[in-house]
Amino acid sequence: MSRLDHCYNIEDLRLAAMKRLPKGVFEYLDKGTEDQISLRNNRRAFEDLKLRNRVLADVSDVKMNSEIFGKPVSMPFAIAPTGIAGLCWYEGEFELAKAAAKAGVPFTLATGSNTSMEKVAKEAGGRLWFQLYMWREKELSYELVRRAADAGFEALVWTVDIGHGANREHNARNGFSTPYKMNMRSTFDVLRHPEWLVTVLGKYLATTGMPTHENYPAKYKQSITGKHKIEKLVRADKVGWADVDKLREIWPGKLIIKGILHAEDAQQALQHGVDAIVVSNHGGRNMDSADATLDVLPEIVEAVGGKTSVIVDSGIRRGSDIVKCLGLGADLVLAGRPTLYGVGVGGQAGAEKALKILRDEMKRTMAYLGKQRVSELTKEIFKPVR
C-alpha cells in the first residue's frame, strides 16, 4: 500500500506532507501570516455556513461539469498558483499541471515557479493560466507576459493583493526567506528528511543544479540560495487601474485579477474590462485579519451583477466548501494547499488524489442537496436567514 492509499481526505494528505517535507518547506506551505487570523477566518466561515439536506430526489445522475470562459471544465475548479510546488516535489509545478490536465481542470503556473513556463506549456497539456507579479521594473513583467502569450497560455492572472509583502515570521525563523539562507536549523531540518533530500534537492543537484526561479528575467535568475538580495526585482508598490489597461493592451488572452476583497474594487475591475476576478485573501497568507472570502463573496457577486466571472479561493478543503462557494454565486473556485499537500506526498499521483477527493466529496454533497447539476446550486441550498 502506498502512502496515498492511507489518505482519505485533504487533512490526511496534509499530515502525510508534514512528515515527508522539511519543516521549513512545510510551514512555508501550510501557514498563514502573523497571528494566523485570516487563516482561521477562512475555515470558520466555511464551518459556520450550513447546508439544507433534501430527500427523495432523483440523484442518480449527478454531474459536476461546468464552463469557464466558454470552455468546459470537468468541475468548477482550477489549481491556484503557488510558488513552492517545485520544492515539494521535483518539478512539482509540472506534476500539478499534468494532474490538472488529466482531471480536466485548469492549472495556474506561478511567476516564482521552479519549472519554466515553456516546459509546462509544451509538455503538460490541458488548460493553462499564468500568474503574474508586477515588478517595480514593469518592463520586465511585460516581458514575462509576452513570453506567456508566445507559450500559448489561455489566461493571465495578475495578483494584486501583495501591498508591501507578507510578514511570515515562521519563514524568517526557518531561514526560508528569499534568497533562502541555510543555517544550522535549516541544515539540520533538511538532514532529518533524507527522502526529500535525495528525491527533491538531490535530483535537482544531479540534473539542473540548485533550483532557480525559472521564469525570472535572465539577469536576475539565480538559484534559490543565491547570494544577492534581488534588489531590483522587487514587486511594484506603485500600481493602479491604469496598469490593468496596459496589461489588456499587451495580453491577448483572458485577463483575471486576483486578490479582490472589496465590492468597489470588483466594480473597478469590471470597468477596466477584466474577464474574471478572484475573490481571495491569498489563503490567509498576506494581510492578517482579512475577511474570510466566503463572507465577502455575496456582496461582490452582487456588485458585478453577472458582468464578469467571479472566482473565489482561500480555505477550501472539502467538496462541500466548493458547493458553498457556488451556492453563493461563484462561477469557479481555486485551491492552493490541497493539491500542494498532494504533490508533496506523491507528485502527480498525489495531486490527482487531492482532486479526486474534492470531486467525490462535491458529488456526494450535491446528492445530499438533491441537486444533479452545478447550475442548480443557488442560495436555496442554505438555511434561510431569519
Ligand X SMILES: Cc1cc2nc3c(=O)[nH]c(=O)nc-3n(C[C@H](O)[C@H](O)[C@H](O)COP(=O)(O)O)c2cc1C
- Residues with a catalytic annotation lie at 282
Q: Does 324 bind ligand X (CB under 6 A)?
A: no
Enumerate long-range contacts of 300-304, CB under 8 Å, 24 or more apart.
Answer: 300/260, 300/262, 300/263, 300/266, 301/328, 301/329, 301/330, 302/263, 302/329, 303/263, 303/264, 303/266, 303/267, 303/270, 304/266, 304/267, 304/270, 304/277
Per CB under 6 A, the list member of 38, 66, 115, 131 interacting with ligand X is: 131
How many residues bind ligand X (CB under 6 A)? The answer is 23
Per CB under 6 A, the list member of 20, 337, 353, 359 interacting with ligand X is: 337
Q: Does 159 bind ligand X (CB under 6 A)?
A: yes
Q: Does 117 bind ligand X (CB under 6 A)?
A: no
Q: Does 170 bind ligand X (CB under 6 A)?
A: no
- Going by C-alpha positions, the residue among 284, 374, 274, 362 that lies closest to residue 330 is 374
User: Using alpha carbons only, how large is the chain's radius of gyration in Å?
Assistant: 20
Q: Does 115 bind ligand X (CB under 6 A)?
A: no
Phi-psi group of 229: left, alpha or beta (phi > 0 → left; psi -120 to 50 → alpha; rest → beta): beta
> Minimum Å distance from CB 277 to ligand X?
13
Q: What residues numbered 253-292 form the site for ligand X, per CB under 6 A?
A: 258, 280, 282-283, 285
Distance CA 319, CA 298 (A): 19
Nine cell digits for residue 57: 430526489
Nine cell digits for residue 58: 432523483
Q: What residues numbered 1-60 form the site for ligand X, per CB under 6 A?
A: 28-29
Whichever of 215 and 267 has its CB closer to ligand X, that residue is 215
Distance CA 66, CA 10 (A): 23
> Minimum Å distance from CB 281 to ligand X?
8
Whichever of 127 and 258 has its CB closer to ligand X, that residue is 258
Q: Does 325 bind ligand X (CB under 6 A)?
A: no
> Minimum Å distance from CB 61 to ligand X?
29
Distance CA 64, CA 338 (A): 19
> Minimum Å distance from CB 358 to ligand X?
11
DSSP string, 45-71: HHHH--B----S---TT----EEETTE
Per CB under 6 A, the list member of 97, 110, 328, 362 interacting with ligand X is: 110
> Minimum Å distance from CB 335 to ligand X?
4
Confirm if 50 and 382 have CB atoms less than 8 A apart. Answer: yes
Q: Does 144 bind ligand X (CB under 6 A)?
A: no
Binding site for ligand X (CB under 6 A): 28-29, 80-84, 110, 112, 131, 159, 258, 280, 282-283, 285, 313-316, 335-337
